[in-house]
Amino acid sequence: MVEGLVLAVFLAHQPVQLMTPLEHVTDPLKNALSALAHAANQTCEVKAAIVDVKAALKDVAAGETYFAQHREASALPALPPIETPDFAPPPRPAPRRNEMLEGALNGLETAFHRAAEMPGADWGGSRDALYAHLNEGTKNLMTAIRNANDAFKQGRRDLPSCKPDRTY
C-alpha cells in the first residue's frame, strides 16, 4: 500500500508531456504535405516532393524514437546543416499562382529551421537524413514552380499531371 502511494506521489510530481520533442518540426511538414496533396499542380516534381516530405516525416519519427531511448541526448547541442536550401520562391508571373506549392515550401523552411535549432546532436543519424530530404523536397518544389511559371508565360495555364506509370 505504501509503495503504491509513493508511486502515485512520484507520478503526480512529474511533468505531463503535452508535445513530443520534435512535434514542432512535424507540424509544418504535415501542413506541407497537405498543401502538396491539394495543389492543382501534380507534376512529377510535386509528386517527388511529396515523397521527400513523407521521408522527412519518417526521419522525424526516427528522431523521436531516438530521444525516447536516449533521453540524455536532449542535452547535447544542435548540429547545424551542412547546406541550407534557398527557400525563396521565384516571382509569380500572375497573382495567386503556385500558392499551394509556396505554402508547402514555407512548411519545409519552417521545419528545416526548427530542426536546426533543436538540441540533441544527430538524433541517432536521422537529423542528417531529415536535412537531405528537406533539401531535395525544396529543390523539387522550386523546379515545379519554375516549370509552372514558364508554362504560364507561354500561355499554358496548367501542366499535365505526372504519368501514372511513374511510381513514387
Confidence category of residue 4, pLDDT binned at 50, 70, 90: low
> How high is the mean pLDDT of the chain?
87
pLDDT at 120 over 70: yes
Copy the grid coordinates of residue 68: 525516447
Can you tell me the mean pLDDT for 114-127?
Answer: 92
Which pTM value belongs to this model? Answer: 0.84
Model pLDDT for residues 64-106, shown as the tens digit of each residue: 999 889 988 888 999 899 999 999 999 998 888 899 999 999 9
Confidence category of residue 11, pLDDT binned at 50, 70, 90: very low
Residue 56: CA count within 13 A, CB half-sphere: 33
pLDDT of residue 164: 63
Confidence category of residue 19, pLDDT binned at 50, 70, 90: low
Task: Return phi, psi of residue 26, to 5°.
Answer: -65, -40
Q: Where are the strands (E) in 11-158, listed by range?
A: none
Residue 123: alpha-carbon gap to chain centroid: 16
SS3 category, 78: strand
Confidence category of residue 111, pLDDT binned at 50, 70, 90: very high
Q: How far is CA 115 from CA 28, 29, 60, 77, 101, in A?
A: 11, 11, 9, 12, 21
Q: How far is 94 from 104, CA to CA, in rounded Å?
A: 19
pLDDT at 130 over 60: yes
Confidence category of residue 13, pLDDT binned at 50, 70, 90: low
Domain map of the chain by residue range? Answer: 22-153
Q: How far is 114 from 27, CA to CA, in rounded Å?
A: 11
Copy the grid coordinates of residue 11: 507520478
Confidence category of residue 9, pLDDT binned at 50, 70, 90: low
Q: How far is CA 68 from CA 5, 17, 23, 72, 124, in A?
A: 26, 12, 13, 10, 11
pLDDT at 136 over 60: yes
